[in-house]
């Protein structure tokens, strides 16, 4: 990290946990020492949160590293842990899901309801010939059946592969083919932006190219007409008429639970494989520890889509394993109005809200008057996931959603890690805006230089994980080599040349340690820019832009430059009230370039800033800088199939002339 940028993110604000939360927190500071003393014994105690049909003989088998086996010899059923045991304990009448459809229709499902539906779905899948070890693709909107479908697969030992409802037929086809899925569970459609959005035609197109698919199970959601083939079965005819009796059979702790595809930076997606016992242990523990989840009194809401790992671990498995009550919402945040999220918080008296920086920045753009119009006094804890959260967005979240007093947990993790790895503990940590702070108890993270050496406090480099963890990916589906190459060959034993016999996991994120040793994430390493020999992270320049009162959101890329190697090109979305027409726009651009230079040093001054109405994002809200680089370098656009809204790129390309 260059001298000029040494005091980047020199964020001095710090917020202790509210006294009442600290006094009643699920997890206290002692957990760090406990886990540091004997990490494996610590994880064993967390595994005891679950009901095991057969206890394990060995906590971790690392003899074939980096292929891990956790809780070796143990057996359990994931659906039993998420449903049956709560019902058996007399909590069947407790609400599991308050579901809110986008058009305003609602459903309330108790644990008993969810259990019954899952048993029926498990029987229906069995009747369709699905057996343990088979793969089932799930392509559904955010309706309760999405959770039921996942749990039903888990119940019978089928491995699910959830594909975002927004992905194209090609993306769905590739994922079905890669996993040789036997069944697809889908719907006629879902509601998005006030109207029905069809899914079934996309599935029909995919299935035509996927001979492994024997059956398609279709939930009726919108009631729109759909084409019908011999492979198709209505959910309401098949599942709802199946028996509600189903005895959950235990599976090995290492039985494959799900595959979830992550595209990363290359085009070909990787099927990340998660297994049963370790995954559920860490999903359950982190939901308990990081969200301070109190099943008796909390109403928890994670706004993620089920097609993102966040939906897997923190809508389905983590909260349900804890017996929590949660909200699930089908639609977009601005339908029918921009206060929809806050209206839902108000209506269900949500206490814990877990969302993404992209949403917070969008809410900033819409203005603080909107949340101010709702009663959000029920909230007691806020969470963030998906990208680095800029200090300004963090402060806005605390101020305008958190009444200036709620703790924010900025949670760093990945599809590959399965569960949260680095985060404040809400009853313990004095948080800093923009920092994910410290590894959770039982997690060993570090920041290393390009030789794999731990950097001192104040230094920057690559984020790594030094010890295996229970919910770690087990491999890339069907491609052990890619697993080894992508994650384990950069540093440590797998690299051969950087010394040590330790296996070190390379996360692909840049990070720095501040003077107190707290961790700040700086974005994907592929996004780091090299300007006149200085490494500059996109995150830092973006945060500087967002700290200007006229900017709601920004994306920064490095474009090839004849003099500086790479030059910084920024795309900025103005806040609701900023005047950007003609002269005023030019003036704002000049002001922003100077603002960045003043905040970060002249080396970080963007060569070019474009004011744009939107940024290209994936469905989990990550900015697709690769596409912006194409624009900045006047290339034709690469693969846009994983974009949330592909029209955004046309908007940007057409609106950028003269934006110098
Ligand atoms: C859970 C999830 C993983 C990548 C990860 C990193 C970024 C996620 C973050 C964060 C900074 C956080 N990321 N959380 N960066 N601070 N709190 O997002 O999984 O979709 O696989 O993405 O997201 O770059 O490597 P996934």
pLDDT digit string (tens) for 249-298?
A: 999 999 999 999 997 555 578 999 999 999 999 999 999 999 999 999 99
Cα–Cα separations (whole angstroms), residue 419 to 38, 285, 292, 447, 557: 20, 9, 15, 19, 29
Query: Is residue 131 one of the residues assigned to a domain?
Result: no
Determine the residue of 408, 521, 642 to mutate for testing ligand 1's pocket, defined as the one with the most ligand atoms within 8 A of the Cβ atom: 521
Most informative mutation of 359, 386, 525 for ligand 1 (most atoms within 8 A of CB): 386
Do the domain assignments include residue 646?
A: yes
Local confidence band at 659 (pLDDT 50, 70, 90 cut-offs): very low
**Confidence category of residue 100, pLDDT binned at 50, 70, 90:** very high
CA of 620 relative to ligand 1 center, distance in Å: 9
Question: Could you tell me which residues come within 8 angstroms of residue 195 by beta carbon, excluding any fewer than 6 positions away?
Answer: none
Distance in Å, CA 582 to ligand 1 centroid: 37
- Pick the closest to residue 326 from 348, 299, 354, 353 (CA basis): 299
How far is ligand 1, taken at its centre, from the CA of residue 413, in Å? 5
Domain of 653, in residue numbers = 532-657
Instruction: Give the other-Cβ count within 10 Å of 501's Cβ.
Output: 7
Ligand 1 close to Cβ of residue 415 (< 6 A): yes
- The number of the ligand 1 atom at minimal distance from the alpha carbon of 411 is 17
Residue 472 in 3-state DSSP?
Answer: coil
pLDDT band at residue 2 using 50, 70 and 90 as cut-offs: very low
Q: What is the pLDDT at residue 179?
A: 98
Positions of E strands within 175-291: 183-187, 189-192, 195-198, 215-219, 232-234, 251-252, 256-262, 270-275
Sign of CA dihedral 361, 303, 288, 251: negative
* Alpha carbons 110 and 255: distance in angstroms, whole number: 28
Q: Could you tell me if the CB of 269 is within 6 A of ligand 1?
A: no
Task: Decide: 305 in ligand 1 pocket, CB within 6 A.
Answer: no
Can you give the pLDDT at residue 656? Answer: 52
Q: Which residues on adjacent β-strands are paired with residue 384? A: 355, 410
Does residue 323 lie in a domain region? no
Hey, what are 528's tokens? 């780091």
> Lowest-confidence range among 339-353, 439-453, 491-505?
491-505
The CATH number covering residue 540 comes to: 3.30.300.30
Q: Is 385 in the pocket of ligand 1 (CB under 6 A)?
A: yes
Mean pLDDT in residue range 393-411: 97
- Six token digits for residue 48: 């005891």
- When pLDDT is cut at 50, 70 and 90, the band that residue 657 belongs to is very low
Strand 135-139 versus strand 159-162 pairing type: parallel
In this prediction, residue 641 carries a pLDDT of 65
Residue 232 scores a pLDDT above 70: yes
Residue 245 has pLDDT above 80, yes or no: yes
Question: Among 412, 438, 522, which is best to mutate for testing ligand 1, by the most ligand atoms less than 8 A from CB?
Answer: 412
Q: Averaged over 535-545, what is the pLDDT?
A: 91
422 CA: nearest ligand 1 atom: 17
- 7 pLDDT above the threshold of 50: no
pLDDT band for position 21 (cuts 50, 70, 90): very high
Q: For the chain, how many structural domains are there in total? A: 1
Buried b (16+ CB within 10 A) or exposed e, 114-127: bbbbbbbbbbbbbe
Residue 368 lies in a domain: no
Q: Is residue 130 part of a domain?
A: no
Q: What mean pLDDT value characterizes the chain? A: 93
The Cα–Cα gap between 122 and 132 comes to: 11
Q: Say yes or no: CB of residue 462 within 6 Å of ligand 1.
A: no
pLDDT in tens, 580-612: 888 999 999 999 999 999 988 899 999 999 999
CA 87 and chain centroid, separation: 29
Q: How much is the pLDDT for 652?
A: 76
pTM tops 0.90, yes or no: yes
* Least trusted range by pLDDT, from 17-31, 83-97, 215-229, 572-586: 572-586
Is 605 inside any structural domain?
yes
Question: Quick one: average pLDDT of 460-468?
Answer: 97
pLDDT at 10: 66
Query: Is residue 653 scored above 60 in pLDDT?
Result: yes
- pLDDT tens for each residue of 295-320: 999 999 999 999 999 999 999 999 99
The mean per-residue pLDDT over the stretch 141-158 comes to 98
- The continuous run of DSSP H or E covering 282 comes out as helix 277-290
Q: Which of 131, 118, 135 is nearest to 79 (CA)?
A: 118
Ligand 1 pocket check for 574: Cβ under 6 Å? no
Instruction: Write out the H or E segment, with its range, that includes residue 279.
Output: helix 277-290
Least confident of 32-36, 414-418, 559-563: 559-563
Position 608 in a domain: yes
- Alpha-carbon gap, residue 513 to 113, rounded angstroms: 47
Question: Rounded mean pLDDT of 558-566?
Answer: 91
Cα(222) to centroid(ligand 1), Å: 33
36 is written with which tokens?
Answer: 């540091």
Distances (CA, A) of 644 to 248, 332, 620: 37, 12, 8
Q: Say if residue 229's pLDDT is above 50.
A: yes
β-strand partners of 325: 299
First-last CA distance in the chain: 28
pLDDT at 642 over 70: no
| Any domain includes 551 | yes
What is the pLDDT averaged over residues 61-72?
A: 98
CA–CA separation, 529 and 10 (whole Å): 20
Cβ atoms of 421 and 440 within 8 Å: the answer is yes
CA distances from 27 to 42, 326, 589 (A): 13, 21, 47
User: With a 6 A CB cut-off, is 437 part of the ligand 1 pocket?
Assistant: no
């Amino acid at each position: 990290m260059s001298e000029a940028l040494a005091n980047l993110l020199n964020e001095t604000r710090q917020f202790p946990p509210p006294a009442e939360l600290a006094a009643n927190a699920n997890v206290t500071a002692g957990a760090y020492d406990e886990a540091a003393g004997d990490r494996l014994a610590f994880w064993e105690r967390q595994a005891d949160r679950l009901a095991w049909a057969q206890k394990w003989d060995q906590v971790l088998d690392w003899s074939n590293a980096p292929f891990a086996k956790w809780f070796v010899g143990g057996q359990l059923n994931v659906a039993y842990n998420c449903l049956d045991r709560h019902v058996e304990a007399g909590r069947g009448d407790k609400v599991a899901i308050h579901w809110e459809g986008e058009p305003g229709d609602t459903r309330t499902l108790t644990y008993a309801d969810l259990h019954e539906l899952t048993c029926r779905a498990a029987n229906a899948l069995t009747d369709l010939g699905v057996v343990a070890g088979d793969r089932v693709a799930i392509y559904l909107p955010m309706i309760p059946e999405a959770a039921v479908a996942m749990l039903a697969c888990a119940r019978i030992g089928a491995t699910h592969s959830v594909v975002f409802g927004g992905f194209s037929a090609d993306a769905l086809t590739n994922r079905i083919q890669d996993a040789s899925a036997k069944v697809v569970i889908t719907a006629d459609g879902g509601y998005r932006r006030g109207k029905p959005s069809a899914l079934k035609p996309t599935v029909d197109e995919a299935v035509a190219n996927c001979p492994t698919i024997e059956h398609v199970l279709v939930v009726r959601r919108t009631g729109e007409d759909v084409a019908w083939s011999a492979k198709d079965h209505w959910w309401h005819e098949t599942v709802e008429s199946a028996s509600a009796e189903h005895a959950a059979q235990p599976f090995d702790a290492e039985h494959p639970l799900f595959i979830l595809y992550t595209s990363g930076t290359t085009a070909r997606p990787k099927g990340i494989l998660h297994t049963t016992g370790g995954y559920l242990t860490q999903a359950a523990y982190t939901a308990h520890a990081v969200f301070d989840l109190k099943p008796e009194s909390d109403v928890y809401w994670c706004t993620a889509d089920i097609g993102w790992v966040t939906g897997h671990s923190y809508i389905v498995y983590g909260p349900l394993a804890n017996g929590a009550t949660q909200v699930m919402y089908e639609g977009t945040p601005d339908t029918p109005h921009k206060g929809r999220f806050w209206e839902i918080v108000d209506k269900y008296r949500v206490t814990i809200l877990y969302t993404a920086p992209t949403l917070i920045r969008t809410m900033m753009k819409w203005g603080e008057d909107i949340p101010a119009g709702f009663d959000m006094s029920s909230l007691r804890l806020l969470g963030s996931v998906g990208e680095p959260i800029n200090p300004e967005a963090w402060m806005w979240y605390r101020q305008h959603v958190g009444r200036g007093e709620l703790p924010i947990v900025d949670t760093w993790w990945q599809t590959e890690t399965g569960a949260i790895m680095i985060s404040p503990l809400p009853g313990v940590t004095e948080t800093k805006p923009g920092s994910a702070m410290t590894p959770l108890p039982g997690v060993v993270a570090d920041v290393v230089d390009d030789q794999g050496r731990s950097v001192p406090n104040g230094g920057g480099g690559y984020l790594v994980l030094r010890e295996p963890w229970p919910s770690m990916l087990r491999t890339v589906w069907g491609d052990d080599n890619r697993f080894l190459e992508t994650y384990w060959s950069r540093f440590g034993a797998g690299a051969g040349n950087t010394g040590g016999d330790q296996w070190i996991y390379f996360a692909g994120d840049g990070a720095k340690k501040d003077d107190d040793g707290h961790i700040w994430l700086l974005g994907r390493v592929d996004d780091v820019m090299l300007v006149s020999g200085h490494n500059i992270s996109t995150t830092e320049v973006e945060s500087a832009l967002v700290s200007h009162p006229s900017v709601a959101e920004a994306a920064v890329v490095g474009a090839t430059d004849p003099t500086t190697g790479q030059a910084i090109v920024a795309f900025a979305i103005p806040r609701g009230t900023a005047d950007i027409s003609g002269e005023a726009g030019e003036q704002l651009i000049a002001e922003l370039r100077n603002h960045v230079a003043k905040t970060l040093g002249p080396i970080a001054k963007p060569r070019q800033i474009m004011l744009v109405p939107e940024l290209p994002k994936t469905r989990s809200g990550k900015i697709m800088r690769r596409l912006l680089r194409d624009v900045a370098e006047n290339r034709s656009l690469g693969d846009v199939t994983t974009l949330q809204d592909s029209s955004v790129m046309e908007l940007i390309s057409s609106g950028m002339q003269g934006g110098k």
